[in-house]
């Protein structure tokens, strides 16, 4: 849908925008792939309400980037960040140690925390949320599950009014890449794994992905945020995908199915049914159609019914979007409510002049020379015919047929349509529909 | 995914829950289908942080419901609601007059407003957001577009860190119902419309739906919330679906396509390309697969790439979820941050004992009696075979074949698997996968 869109967006700068001195100060701890992408978005966005003040990492001298504003402090010293006056700490170092201590100390010192740390939240989420609440600050972790799919923010903001009883998802991009590759190429598991490793979709030791450890940590977080249940990742059974082979896709296909690693949790009274592992799913189901390393999350609620969220599961940029969105959410709460919509509104020129391929359907009284006449008009307007379709079996006095055109702008097509509208053999106005690819 | 799940969820009541006296007071103006569903959720949820204090509607005496707590004031007098000490006004009367005046007066008197009013926000959203900001209160309208799909909250909370340049959606359930019915039954447009009207999916005068008026108001709201652009609904070209006929689905199918009403907006510099109308979309695309009255929204962002949201578009209950979610969001902001996760966490019994159908794949050294032996073991454990699959062309010394079982609990299956694991003809462990339908 985005072929005609440049990547730069002109924003009308808010006249009444807060100047940087009143901006919310933000520190970044961990400057790997996601950290760099977060810094880039913060620096590029021109967002006046956020100010990046610190970037903290080991061997920081080697990490410096030219595009980071001069005022930002580069440091290896976590203490100096925690002792500073930043309002929000972004934790992107991952793992439990020392991330847990850093997050606890930040919350205890009255700073809100945004983290993408799946293991930390899966293990200590309820504790840390309690600690945040008792210190009057916020802890957000929207990037910890399916980074590019805003399912956690949606659970928090858009589905909080429902009473969810089920969550199921394709939460591990590595497994989905491997399984959908075996499906499409019928290669052995080992070959699909090697391919995933060569393309950077799987680590050298992929056990955490293949055996379900990664997905069950994410499921524990989804269960916490969506089902309000607390469970340890270890309490969720995980089955490996290593035993799935090409022949299983042949048999699954005979059953109208394919195979995906599914993480699922269903709440029934005090019991949470939960597990992670390869499952047969119908080929034409939402799960069955998820290809490559995409993520899909389905929720089931008492009032709102079923909902699906699909998007990029991981990657630096999508994860960074989730992190920055959380930072903006916390900053808005700190300043007493959102204002981004009200303060940064563009009044665009509105145009319907899309460039697309076109479907033109005619009803005509059959007579010689109709197609020649239409083709002549189209040619005169420099419009290229892509195909001509005519089904048999209609009456000669009102015959439907179709011309499709190669992509052109609406404004190019319009004069030709005008000219064709007056043709004496037409029994109905031409129906003109865009073809979206 | 929800077959085994009861609809009642046991929540552990928070020990430290706020008592009702400190709860956020909420008034409901408009007590139609959505209003009743909102009141029901508020009354059933046991949410201690929200207190419904007023229900306002014309002919209120006829509207009273037994299940509403005795303390709630039933009134026809909007002024008494606006003069009260409620913190949040829920506006569900719809239309511009008198809704606009009520919303303005509520915001001016320092009350936050939650509304599902599409026409009001499409026309006056930017003004009203400005008015809310200048009065230090909030205006939320998550239910105004695709009620059951939390796309607006996701834009606000989960994608705010991205720079979106495109939004496209199936936003009108009536059109999608009619078009997908013509597609599946190849009936004339007029017959599909009559059917939709008979089933309550279309109004007697369905012009607003069929001719795109409804969808372009929603597109204007999505463009405001996601692309930060202000446009009037009337500036967006709308093409009717009335001219689409069964024969167009035949021709579309020849092109690998089907037909849907698509609303799309692409931002390119200062120009917003936008329109609403029937389009050809590939049959196997996300849009092509949306059936019945569901809604789908796709977003394209500079950093996060493409995202899809699918769910129920309308209906009292899904819309009410969106309204109540907005109310909870505003209430959380008023109380300085969320606390729902921290305060209402259930520690469930975690079980992997799902009831599903099963796929058992064996590799065996071929010899007589294998199937009989396996069938005997399964029968002894009261497990019913659903099908037996064997592909030709494998070597006799390691032959793969599959038995599928009718649904049973994991715990029923496990002892049989144990017994089968010791069989002398097995050359690999049995692979056992759930079949999800």
Tokens 């509207």 locate to: B63
pLDDT for res B99: 97
Q: Provide long-range contacts, Cβ within 8 A and 24+ apart, for A95-99.
A: A95/A119, A95/A120, A96/A120, A96/A123
Q: If pLDDT is split at 50, 70 and 90, which confidence band does A338 have?
A: low
Mean pLDDT along residues A7-23 = 45
pLDDT for res A337: 58
Give buried/exposed letters for B258-289 (b at 16+ CB in 10 A, else e): bbbbbbbbbbbeebbbbbbbbbbbbeebbbbb
Angle at A390 between CA A387 and CA A396, to 5 degrees: 145
**Residue B6 pLDDT exceeds 50:** no
Tokens 């190669």 locate to: A406
B381: tokens are: 């454990």
Contacts of B5 in chain A (CB under 8 A): 165-166, 266-268, 300
pLDDT for res B3: 37
pLDDT for res A392: 87
Give buried/exposed letters for A121-159 (b at 16+ CB in 10 A, else e): bbbbbbebbbbbbebebbbbbbbbbbbbbbbbbbbbbbb
Q: Tally DSSP H helices, then E strands, for chain A.
A: 15, 17
Using a CB–CB cutoff of 8 Å, tell me whether A405 touches chain B. no
User: Are the beta carbons of A5 and B268 separated by less than 8 Å?
Assistant: yes
Check the CA dihedral B283-B289-B291-B294 and report its sign: negative
pLDDT for res B382: 97
pLDDT one-digit tens code per residue, B316-332 = 899 999 999 999 989 88
Mean pLDDT along residues B190-205 = 94
**Smallest Cα distance from B72 to chain A, Å:** 20
Out of B7, B218, B391, B396, pick the active-site residue.
Answer: B218
Using a CB–CB cutoff of 8 Å, tell me whether B411 touches chain A. no
162-201 of B, contacting A, C-beta below 8 A: 162-163, 165-166, 168
Of B25 and B13, the one with more pLDDT:
B25
Non-local CB neighbours of B234 within 8 Å, separated by 6+ positions: none
pLDDT for res A424: 92
pLDDT for res A6: 37
Q: Which of B37, B352, B362 to mutate to test the interface with A (most CBs of A within 10 A)?
A: B352
**Residue A34 pLDDT exceeds 90:** yes
**Smallest Cα distance from A412 to chain B, Å:** 15
CB contacts < 8 A, A to B, total 447
Structural domain boundaries in chain B: 20-147+317-343, 152-314, 355-435
Contacts of B268 in chain A (CB under 8 A): 4-6
Contacts of B153 in chain A (CB under 8 A): 153-154, 157-158
User: Are the beta carbons of A361 and B251 separated by less than 8 Å?
Assistant: yes
322-351 of A, contacting B, C-beta below 8 A: 322-329, 333, 336-351
Contacts of A274 in chain B (CB under 8 A): 350-352
Of B170 and B293, the one with more pLDDT:
B170
196-225 of A, contacting B, C-beta below 8 A: 224-225
Q: Judge whether B218 counts as a catalytic residue.
A: yes
Burial class (CB in 10 A: 0-12, 13-18, 19+), A280: buried
User: Are the beta carbons of B351 and A271 separated by less than 8 Å?
Assistant: yes
User: Are the beta carbons of B161 and A322 separated by less than 8 Å?
Assistant: yes
pLDDT for res B337: 58
Contacts of A150 in chain B (CB under 8 A): 154, 157-159, 307
pLDDT for res A18: 39
The whole-angstrom separation of Cα B128 and Cα B131 is 5
3-state secondary structure chain B: CCCCCCCCCCCCCCCCCCCHHHCEEEEEECCCHHHHHHHHHHHHCCCCCEEEEEEECCCHHHCCCCCCCCCCEEECCHHHHHCCCCCEEEECCCCCCCHHHHHHHHHHCCCEEEECCHHHHHHHHHHHHHHHHHCCCCEECHHHCCCCCCHHHHHHHCCCCCCEEEEEEECCHHHHHHHHHHHHHCCCHHHHHHHHHHCCCCCCCCHHHHCCHHHHHHHHHHHHHHHCECCCHHHCEECCCCCCCHHHHHHHHHCCEEEEEEEEEEEECCEEEEEEEEEEEECCCCCCCCCCCEEEEEEEECCCEEEEEEEECCCHHHHHHHHHHHHHHHHHHHCCCCCHHHHCCECCEEECCCEEEEEEEEEECCCCCHHHHHHHHHHHCCCCEEEEECCCCCCCCCEEEEEEEEEEEHHHHHHHHHHHHCCCCEEEEEEEEEECC
Nearest CA in chain A to B131: A342
Contacts of B389 in chain A (CB under 8 A): 251, 254-255
**Smallest Cα distance from B162 to chain A, Å:** 5
Q: Which of A127, A141, A160 to mutate to test the interface with B (most CBs of B within 10 A)?
A: A160
User: Are the beta carbons of A224 and B341 separated by less than 8 Å?
Assistant: yes
Which CATH number does A355-435 carry?
3.30.70.260
Lowest-pLDDT range, A420-434, B153-167, B357-371?
A: B153-167
Phi, psi torsion values for B252, nearest 5 degrees: -60, -40
Alpha helices, DSSP H only, in A19-140?
A: 33-44, 60-63, 78-82, 99-108, 118-134
**Residue B296 pLDDT exceeds 80:** yes
pLDDT one-digit tens code per residue, A35-52 = 999 999 999 887 778 999
Using a CB–CB cutoff of 8 Å, tell me whether A382 touches chain B. no
Using a CB–CB cutoff of 8 Å, tell me whether B283 touches chain A. no
**Residue A149 pLDDT exceeds 90:** no
Using a CB–CB cutoff of 8 Å, tell me whether B280 touches chain A. yes
Beta bridge partners of A262: A277
- The partner residue sitting opposite A348, judged by closest CB among B259, B272, B436, is B272
pLDDT for res B437: 87
Q: If pLDDT is split at 50, 70 and 90, which confidence band does A332 have?
A: confident
User: Are the beta carbons of A303 and B312 separated by less than 8 Å?
Assistant: no
35-74 of A, contacting B, C-beta below 8 A: 37, 41, 45
Of B16 and B361, the one with more pLDDT:
B361
**Residue B168 pLDDT exceeds 80:** yes
B154: tokens are: 């996701």
Q: Which of B258, B292, B348, B406 to mutate to test the interface with A (most CBs of A within 10 A)?
A: B348
Tokens 């909370």 locate to: B157
Name the average pLDDT for chain A.
Answer: 90
Name the average pLDDT for chain B.
Answer: 91
Using a CB–CB cutoff of 8 Å, tell me whether A364 touches chain B. no
pLDDT for res B20: 52
pLDDT for res B2: 40
Using a CB–CB cutoff of 8 Å, tell me whether B33 touches chain A. no
- The partner residue sitting opposite B307, judged by closest CB among A126, A311, A350, is A311
User: Are the beta carbons of B157 and A158 separated by less than 8 Å?
Assistant: yes
pLDDT for res A293: 86
User: Are the beta carbons of B266 and A310 separated by less than 8 Å?
Assistant: no
pLDDT for res A343: 54
Contacts of A336 in chain B (CB under 8 A): 136, 333
User: Are the beta carbons of B359 and A252 separated by less than 8 Å?
Assistant: yes
pLDDT for res A181: 96
The whole-angstrom separation of Cα B370 and Cα B362 is 10
Find the helix packing angle between A173-185 and A189-198, rounded to 10°: 120
Using a CB–CB cutoff of 8 Å, tell me whether A10 touches chain B. yes
Q: Specify which of A320-334, A387-401, A406-420 reaches the highest per-range mean pLDDT.
A: A406-420
User: Are the beta carbons of B326 and A153 separated by less than 8 Å?
Assistant: no
CA distances from A222 to A211, A424, B117, B344 (A): 19, 63, 31, 15
The whole-angstrom separation of Cα A99 and Cα A81 is 14
pLDDT for res A335: 76
Contacts of B335 in chain A (CB under 8 A): none
Q: If pLDDT is split at 50, 70 and 90, which confidence band does A8 have?
A: very low
Q: Choose which CATH entry (3.30.360.10, 3.40.50.720, 3.30.56.10, 3.10.20.70) describes domain A20-145+318-343.
A: 3.40.50.720
Q: Which of B10, B160, B189 to mutate to test the interface with A (most CBs of A within 10 A)?
A: B160
ipTM score of the complex? 0.88
Contacts of A252 in chain B (CB under 8 A): 359
Mean pLDDT along residues B43-68 = 91
pLDDT for res B157: 82
Tokens 């609403």 locate to: B276
Arch. (CATH architecture) of B152-314: 2-Layer Sandwich (3.30)
Share of chain B above pLDDT 90, in %: 79
Out of A20, A218, A391, A396, pick the active-site residue.
Answer: A218
Share of chain A above pLDDT 70, in %: 93
The whole-angstrom separation of Cα B352 and Cα A283 is 24
**Residue B414 pLDDT exceeds 90:** yes
- The partner residue sitting opposite A266, judged by closest CB among B5, B247, B434, is B5
pLDDT for res B275: 97
Arch. (CATH architecture) of B20-147+317-343: 3-Layer(aba) Sandwich (3.40)
Mean pLDDT along residues B389-397 = 90
Pick from B88, B56, B87: which is nearest to B72 by CA?
B56
Q: Which of B125, B321, B428 to mutate to test the interface with A (most CBs of A within 10 A)?
A: B321
């Amino acid at each position: 849908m985005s072929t005609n869109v440049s990547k730069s967006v002109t924003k009308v700068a808010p006249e009444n925008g807060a100047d940087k001195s009143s901006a919310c100060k933000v520190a970044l701890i961990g400057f790997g792939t996601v950290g760099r992408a977060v810094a880039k978005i913060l620096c590029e966005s021109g967002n006046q309400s956020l100010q990046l003040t610190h970037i903290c990492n080991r061997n920081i001298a080697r990490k410096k980037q030219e595009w980071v504003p001069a005022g930002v402090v580069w440091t290896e010293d976590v203490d100096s960040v925690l002792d500073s006056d930043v309002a929000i700490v972004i934790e992107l170092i991952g793992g439990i140690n020392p991330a847990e201590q850093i997050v606890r100390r930040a919350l205890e010192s009255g700073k809100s925390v945004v983290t993408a740390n799946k293991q930390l939240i899966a293990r200590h989420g309820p504790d840390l949320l309690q600690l945040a609440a008792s210190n009057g600050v916020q802890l957000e972790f929207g990037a910890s599950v399916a980074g590019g799919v805003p399912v956690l923010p949606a659970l928090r903001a858009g589905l909080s009014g429902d009473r969810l009883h089920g969550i199921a998802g394709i939460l591990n991009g590595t497994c989905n890449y491997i399984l959908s590759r075996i499906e499409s190429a019928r290669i052995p598991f080992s070959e699909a794994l090697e391919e995933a490793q060569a393309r950077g979709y799987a680590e050298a030791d992929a056990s955490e992905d293949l055996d379900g450890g990664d997905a069950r940590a994410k499921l524990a977080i989804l269960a916490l945020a969506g089902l309000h249940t607390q469970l340890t990742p270890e309490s969720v059974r995980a089955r490996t995908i290593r035993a799935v082979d090409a022949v299983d896709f042949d048999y699954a296909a005979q059953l109208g199915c394919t195979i995906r690693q599914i993480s699922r949790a269903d709440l029934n009274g005090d019991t949470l049914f939960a597990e992670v592992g390869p499952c047969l799913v119908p080929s034409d189901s939402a799960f069955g159609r998820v290809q490559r390393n995409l993520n899909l999350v389905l929720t089931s609620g008492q009032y709102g019914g079923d909902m699906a969220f699909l998007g990029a599961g991981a990657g630096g940029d999508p994860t960074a979007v989730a992190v920055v969105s959380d930072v903006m959410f916390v900053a808005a709460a700190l300043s007493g409510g959102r204002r981004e919509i009200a303060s940064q509104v563009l009044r665009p020129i509105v145009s319907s002049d899309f460039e697309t391929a076109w479907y033109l359907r005619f009803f005509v009284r059959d007579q010689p020379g109709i197609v020649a006449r239409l083709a002549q008009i189209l040619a005169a307007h420099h419009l290229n015919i892509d195909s001509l379709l005519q089904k048999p079996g209609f009456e000669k006095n009102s015959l439907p047929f179709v011309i499709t055109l190669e992509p052109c702008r609406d404004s190019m097509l319009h004069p030709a349509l005008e000219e064709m509208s007056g043709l004496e053999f037409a029994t109905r106005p031409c129906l003109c529909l865009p073809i979206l690819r």
